[in-house]
Amino acid sequence: MEKLTIEGTPKTPTINFDFGTGTLEIKGRSIPENSIEFYKPLVESLEKYSGKPQGTTSVNIQLEYFNTSSSKCILDVFKKLEAIHKGGSQITINWYYEQDDEDMLEAGEDYQAIINVPFKMIQVEE
Amino acid sequence: MLDIFDFYDKMERNNIMLSFKGDITSELLTSILQIMESKLDNMQEEPKIKRKVYNVLVECLQNLYHHMDEVDQSDATRDSGRSAIFMIGRVDNQYNIITGNYIKADNVETLRGRIDKINSLSKDELKEYYKEVLNNGEMSQKGGGGLGFIDIARKSGEKLSYNFLSVDNKYSFFSLNIKIAQ
C-alpha cells in the first residue's frame, strides 16, 4: 500500500498519508513562500487515493501557524477530501488547536463552513 | 558623514526590536522569523500575542517577498527598486510592524481600493470576506491570492494604516504600519 511521508521543516509541516490505514496527518507549521509547490505531492496522492479509498478515512490537522498562501492549498486538500467523502468513504476532519488559540479555532470553523465534511474541533493543552 | 546617532536615536525612541533594509529572500525571512520568535520567547510574551505578532509578521514579510519581482529588474534607473524596508518595534504595549517597498505607480489605485475596502469592514464582515476570497478567489501563481491583507486585518484587529509616496511617474513607495495591541 502506498504512503506519502514528508518530513517537517521550520516552514513546512510533517505530512503522513497512509493509504492502507486511510489516515492523513498534517502537523506543524505551514508558512512556505511557495505553498502550491509544497502541497502538490499531497494533492496528487489524494487524487490517486480517491480511486480506491478505505471505508473510513481519518484526517488529523494540527497546525501551529499557517500563512494565507497555505490556506488556499489546505482548502484544495479539503476539497479533494470532500469528493472522497461524497464517493462513500466516511471522513472526519479533526482540527486541533491550542487552548487559547482562538484564531486557529476560527480558521477551522471557516473551513467547516465551506467544506461539506464533518469537522471535529479538538482543543489541546499548550 | 552619515549621522548614525540620528538613526540610533530614532530607533531607540520607537523601541525598534529589529529592522532590515535590502533584498528580501526566502532565507532572510527564515532568519528574521527565527530571531523574532526567540525575542518574543525571551520577553515571555503572552502566547496569544506572540502568535498574533508572528502571524502578521509572516504575512507582511511574504507580501514584501512576493512584491520584489514586480518591480522591473531591468529598470536601470533604480537599483533600489529591488529592496524593501522592514521594522518591528514595541511602544506602549503595542507592537508596530512597518514595511515599505516600491510598487508600480499603475498599481497604486488598485491597492488603495483593496485596503480601503478591508478597512471599511467590521470584524464579522471581514470573516465573511475572507471566506469568500478563500473559496472563490483565484490563486495567484505564487499562491498569494489576495488573502494577506484580509488576514492581517483580522489577526491584528486594527485598521491597516498605509501611505503612498509618489517617487516618479513609474514608481511609488508603499508603506504599511500594522499595530497589534496587547
Q: What is the DSSP string of B118-144?
A: HHH--HHHHHHHHHHHHHHSPPPTTS-
State whether residue B39 is helix, strand or coil. helix
State whether residue B85 is helix, strand or coil. strand
Note whether residue B117 is domain-resident.
Answer: no
CB contact under 8 A, A68 and B65: no
Facing A67 at nearest CB: one of B58, B130, B134: B58
Which chain B residues contact residue A69 at CB under 8 A? 62, 142-145, 147
Closest chain A residue by Cα to residue B148: A68
Which chain B residues contact residue A101 at CB under 8 A? 47-48, 51
Top residue of B34, B62, B149 to mutate, by most chain A CBs within 10 Å, is: B62
Residue B37's pLDDT band (boundaries 50, 70, 90)? very high
pLDDT at residue A115 tops 60: yes
In a 13 Å sphere around the CA of B11, the CA atoms on its Cβ side amount to: 14
pLDDT at residue B143 tops 60: no
Note whether residue B54 is domain-resident.
Answer: yes
- State the average pLDDT for chain B: 89
CB contact under 8 A, B55 and A113: no
Q: How many residues does chain A have?
A: 126
What residue type is assigned to position B162 of the chain? Answer: Y
Note whether residue B124 is domain-resident.
Answer: no
Closest chain B residue by Cα to residue A39: B143
Closest CA to B102 of B46, B32, B23, B177: B23
| Residue pLDDT, tens place only, B38-71 | 999 999 999 999 999 999 999 999 999 988 766 6
Q: How far is A73 from chain B (nearest CA, A)?
A: 8
| In contact, B130 and B147? CB cutoff 8 Å | yes
- Better-scored residue on pLDDT, B77 or A22: A22
A46-50, A95-99, B77-81, B117-121: which has the minimum mean pLDDT?
B77-81
Q: What is the mean pLDDT of residues B156-169?
A: 95
Query: Crossing angle, helix A68-86 and helix A102-114, to 10 degrees?
Result: 40
| Residue pLDDT, tens place only, B65-110 | 988 766 665 554 555 556 899 999 999 889 999 999 999 999 999 9
Residue B11's pLDDT band (boundaries 50, 70, 90)? very high
| In contact, A32 and A40? CB cutoff 8 Å | no
| Residue pLDDT, tens place only, A67-80 | 999 999 999 999 99
CB contact under 8 A, A126 and B59: no
Cell (9 digits) for B178: 500594522
What number of other Cβ atoms are within 10 A of residue B157's Cβ? Answer: 12
Q: What is the mean pLDDT of residues A38-55?
A: 96
CA-based max dimension of chain A:
39
Cell (9 digits) for A42: 499531497
Q: What is the pTM (predicted TM-score) of this model?
A: 0.92
pLDDT at residue B137 tops 90: no
Closest CA to B118 of B58, B162, B77: B162
Which chain A residues contact residue B55 at CB under 8 A? 65, 67, 103
pLDDT of B74: 58
Assign residue B89 the CATH number of its domain. 3.30.565
CB contact under 8 A, A33 and B130: no
CB-based contacts of B20, cutoff 8 Å, min separation 6? B28, B32, B85, B86, B87
Question: What are residue B99's phi and psi, to 5 degrees?
Answer: -130, 155
Note whether residue B20 is domain-resident.
Answer: yes
CB contact under 8 A, A68 and B59: yes
A86-97 per-residue burial string, b: 16 or more CB within 10 A, e: under 16: eeebebbbbbbb
| In contact, A71 and B145? CB cutoff 8 Å | no
Residue B16's pLDDT band (boundaries 50, 70, 90)? very high
CB contact under 8 A, B131 and A10: no
Assign residue A118 the CATH number of its domain. 3.30.750.24
Query: How many domains does chain B contain in total?
Result: 1
Query: How many domains does chain A contain in total?
Result: 1
Q: How far is A5 from chain B (nearest CA, A)?
A: 23
pLDDT at residue B34 tops 90: yes
Note whether residue B24 is domain-resident.
Answer: yes
Q: Find the DSSP H helices in chain A.
A: 35-51, 68-86, 102-114
Residue B138's pLDDT band (boundaries 50, 70, 90)? low
**How do strand A56-66 and strand A90-98 relate by DSSP bridges?**
parallel
Facing B54 at nearest CB: one of A65, A75, A114: A65
Q: Which domain holds residue B37?
A: 4-104+159-181
| In contact, B43 and B67? CB cutoff 8 Å | no
Q: Which domain holds residue A18?
A: 3-124
CB contact under 8 A, A100 and B47: yes
